[in-house]
Structure 1
């Protein structure tokens, strides 16, 4: 059972969200703040044409474990105000910080027991928020440990490797058309257009692009703040995740000075579902079909176990502090 409250969060632009509390008479609950991945995503982590529903499922799981949760529509998405395309990385960090600070002040929330849970780009934003407003734990799902610009460069390399390795008539045709070279040229042209202006939004080949966000991700490096993450961290990535490097889990363990628990889930992709597909384009093309499945059970079990241990440890620390007094 749970209690859901629709809230409007004061920020640079008002952000619409859902604050969920477990049903019961406990005075204060620990809190999880959900931080989105990239794109125009709502509070449930759904985008137009791709309802991955990750945050709705994981919020239900967290509430069942005795946690309150807050999740919100991104700036300019759903019921939130503002313009999504005009938002840069630092704007998204500001928004997540505003949500955190708002939620900590709400009735029924224990402001001294807070976890940030980020998925994809949210795993970059969450450590920056923690740098400003230290929290008691972080969960980083399908995250990276470097500048996103380097990760997207790696993604393009993987995509081009995929094109070059295709067999049969399709592979022959793509190589004849020199698709890999065209992909590289398209990226170079777009990068030049983005870097040649300080505008927040540009129009490139008939399409609006969030130039400010792209420019800032060229310099924002999460590794610089992970080194100051003293709180316990849980990081999970799947072997079929073609959006981030699996080896970044090792980097996280090296960078994070506090407790860092990492897990690799076999055959889990970036949207946290199992797949038996191979190859960059094949895995991505399956997303719309595979979202009909629930979030991976193994990931849920790992998260439930970690949250339970975290809560028990926090309760033990709190009891010890009371004895000391």
Structure 2
């Protein structure tokens, strides 16, 4: 499918050198609707490096927020990258924010749609004359999307932040272990069947929010991807970043990813949680930061990314 680019007229001109970042709204047409994002440009030191930032799971917008939680984690990351001369593009996922009209119906959505979207944004950036190096930064679920998108030659480096190190069905099983035993007992045969590519008609009412019929096709498409296999395919610089107080993705996930790609650099940032904020392992206080946009992200994260990207 041919990709049609939509952008402001300023994109067709040569960028002048400015000391402060320039933020512009850009969009692409995927054929099923428009995706909108923010291109943040900073020509500091004449850098021609741009990072594509891919958000995590759920209805997450370009800033890292959902309808129920505002933390501005991805916006803060983009702003901090601009200060070191790294431009960035972050975008609203399908069905959320200004990309809401591009959202397919839940029973039509597939994990590959998100991969294709990331590929389209990479192509978009490659067609701009302002950049000669593209870095893909994937957060959480976005890390898996980024691993696949980074397998194309147009991507120069890949960064995984809080990326899972195992297939999502196993992650779901592990998370269900913290629930009453009946949750895992009833979920196991459902997960096994979905893993085989088969839909499940009769789902217990208390599990319907997780395994409702309309989402099963998406889960089947997601289960096909193993992060370890995908990151092993990357024959380019890879950085794996994990926070020590992330209560959604653990250090073991980072270890698994690093073991799958021996050339990858693995970095653990102390006291950083899933959304890049400083937190303890206390679950209530950790989750509280998910809705505190006034909290800044850990400066160590930007330092680590800067060293990897600019060297």
The CA distance in 2 between the partners of 1:226 and 1:211, in whole Å, is: 25
Specify the alignment match of 2:164 in structure 1: 144
- CA distance in 2 between partners of 1:212 and 1:133 (Å): 30
Determine which of 40, 48, 59 is the counterpart of 1:40.
59
Q: 1:156 maps to what in 2?
A: 176
Tell me if the contact between 2:244 and 2:250 (Cα under 8 Å) persists in the aligned partners: no
User: What displacement does 1:132 show?
Assistant: 3.4
Q: Is the 8 A contact 1:65 1:308 kept in 2?
A: no
Q: 1:155 to 1:134 in 2, by over 3 A?
A: farther
1:78 offset after TM fit, Å?
1.0
Q: Which of 267, 270, 276 is matched with 2:271 structurally?
A: 267
Tell me the SS of whatever aligns to 1:69: strand
Distance in 1, matches of 2:131 and 2:284, equals: 43
Partner of 2:86 in structure 1? Answer: 67
Which of 66, 70, 74 aligns to 1:51? It is: 70
Cα-to-partner distance string for 1:17-46 (whole Å, 9 max, x where unaligned): 1112115694x7211101110011111111
Structure 1 runs (4+) deviating above 6 angstroms are 205-208
CA distance in 2, matches of 1:21, 1:205: 40
Gaps of 5+ in 1: 161-179, 310-325
Could you say if the C-alpha distance between residues 246 and 19 of structure 1 is closer, same or farther in structure 2, counting changes exceeding 3 Å? same
SS in structure 2 opposite 1:224?
A: helix
CA contact (8 A) 1:119 1:142 kept: yes
RMSD: 2.8
| Aligned-partner Cα distance in 1 for 2:241–2:254 | 8
Bigger radius of gyration among the two: 1
Shift of 1:300: 2.3
Rounded to whole Å, the distance in 1 between the matches of 2:142 and 2:265 is 18
Change (3 A) 1:51 1:208: farther
User: In the TM superposition, what are the counterparts of 1:273-284 in structure 2 within 5 Å?
Assistant: 273-278=277-282, 281-282=283-284
Match of 2:37 in 1: 17
Match of 1:241 among 241, 246, 249: 246
Match of 1:8 among 24, 27, 31: 27
Secondary structure at the residue paired with 1:114? strand
Q: Deviations over 1:74-107 (max 9, x none)?
A: 1121111322634221110000100110121124
Residues 1-325 of structure 1: pairs in structure 2 closer than 5 A: 1-12=20-31, 13-23=33-43, 26=46, 29-80=48-99, 81-83=101-103, 85=106, 86-110=108-132, 113-157=133-177, 159-160=178-179, 180-184=180-184, 187=187, 191=191, 195-196=198-199, 204=208, 210-258=215-263, 260-278=264-282, 281-282=283-284, 285-309=287-311
Deviation at 1:257, TM superposition (A): 4.9
Change (3 A) 1:193 1:204: farther
- Conserved 8 A contact 1:10-1:98: no
Match of 2:150, SS state, is helix
- List gaps (5 residues or longer) in structure 2: 1-19, 202-206
1:295 aligns to what SS in structure 2? coil
Secondary structure, counterpart of 1:286 in structure 2: helix
Q: TM-score, normalised by structure 2?
A: 0.79
Distance 1:253 1:126 in 2: 16
Tell me the residue number matched to 1:322.
none
